[in-house]
Amino acid sequence: MSLSQPSGEERRVQFLGGASVDGAPVAYLIVLAAVVTVLAFIPFSAVLGMGGSFPMSQGVYSLVGWILGPLAGAVSSGIGTLIGVFVAPHTTRVWYVSVMSALITSFAAGAMAAGGKRRGWWLLPFVLGVLGFVVYVGRGLQNGVALSTALMTTFVNWSALILYLLPTRSLFARWIASTSLLKLAAGLFLGTWMTYGLAHVCAGAITYLMFNWPAEVWMTLIPIIPVEFATRGAIGAVIGTGVIAGLRAIGLVKPTHAAY
């Protein structure tokens, strides 16, 4: 039996549960915060200069922003990371820097596709990224790091700033909203690279001011950091493609500011 046009009046459907943050159900925030916390247990790379290791959760901060939107995404990944700081200290170096990275990355991701009154929100993480870059590289130059070395080490960061400034920002957002899985995966990979790159340089600026690692470490980082970023992108793409395809297929309510 098929129904071409129901006889009843079509109603305006909206989520009235009240338990939501910026249009995203609180249940979603909790689930994704839990995912971030769980992934905080898994180290995926050693940290040169300070010791410790990076948590795998860094690969999904952006995804959380695309699923929940800039504000709810930042709240969710921020809470998940904060809990992760306590329960998985082995992947934490400076706790507030970890939380800050999560907040900036998710916000930057959620702001990529923002329209209307939020059209200019992307400027906030971009400006923070530029400031972080200036402080990080400037301090490095002061400490005697060669300009070429500084630029090669921060390739992931300045490439992220350029990609975020140019129309590639909205292009990646369109890919993430695309029904083509290939485009979705590419958007997730490049989007993760780009948005984490902004947070990374802000975090790098603070930690470098604290630890002042020597110029030799900058050299060593040149081949390592892009590999780490590619890994983060791959984590975002692999997890994100499945999650977003699943969310679309299951048809659960979509947060108001979601990018998928």
Partner 1 sequence: MDIHTPLAHFEKVSYQYPHRTDFALQEINLTVRKGELLGVIGATGAGKTTFCLTLNGIVPQFYGGRFFGHLRVAGLDTVDTPIHQLARHVGMVLEDPETQLIATSVENEIAFALENLNVPAEEIRARIPRVLEMVRLENLPKRHPSELSGGQKQRLAIAAALAVQPDLLVLDEPVSQLDPQGAQDVFAVLRELNHTMGMTIVISGHAAEELAESAHRLILLAKGAIVAEGTPEEIYGNVPLLEEYGVRPPQVAKTFWLVRHLLPPGASLPVRLSEGLNRLKDLPRPVHLPAIPASGATRPSAEALITVRDLHHIYPNGTHALCGVSFDIHAGEYVLIAGQNGAGKSTLVRHFVNLLQPTRGEVHFAGQDTRTLSTADAARRIGYVGQNPDLQLFNRTVEDEIAFALRHLHYPADEVRRRTDEALDALRLNDVRQRHPFSLPKGERARVVIAAVLALQPEVLIFDEPTTGQDLAGATAILDITRDLHRMGKTILVITHHLYLMPGYAERALLMNKGHLLLDAPLREAYHNLAALERTALTQPQAVKLAQALEARWQVPLPLLTPQEVAQCWLAEATE
Q: Which residues bind partner 1 (CB under 8 A)?
A: 1-3, 6-19, 25, 181, 242, 245-246, 248-254
**Is 210 within 8 Å of 255 (Cβ atoms)?**
no
Select 7 or 142, whichever has its Cβ closest to partner 1. Answer: 7
Alpha carbons 39 and 91: distance in angstroms, whole number: 10
Q: How far apart are the first and last CA of the chain?
A: 32
Least distance CB 25 / partner 1 (angstroms): 8
Least distance CB 9 / partner 1 (angstroms): 7
Select 31 or 46, whichever has its Cβ closest to partner 1. Answer: 31
Select 20 or 195, whichever has its Cβ closest to partner 1. Answer: 20
Select 210 or 252, whichever has its Cβ closest to partner 1. Answer: 252
> ∠ CA(21), CA(27), CA(31), 5° rounding?
110
Least Cα distance to 28 among 57, 2, 54, 66 occurs for 66
Least distance CB 255 / partner 1 (angstroms): 11
Least distance CB 149 / partner 1 (angstroms): 44
Sign for the CA dihedral angle at 209, 213, 218, 224 comes to: negative
Select 13 or 167, whichever has its Cβ closest to partner 1. Answer: 13
Q: What is the DSSP string of 215-247?
A: HHHHHHHHHHHHHHHHHHHHHHHHHHHHHHHHH
Residue 155 CB neighbours (<10 A): 14
Least distance CB 170 / partner 1 (angstroms): 24
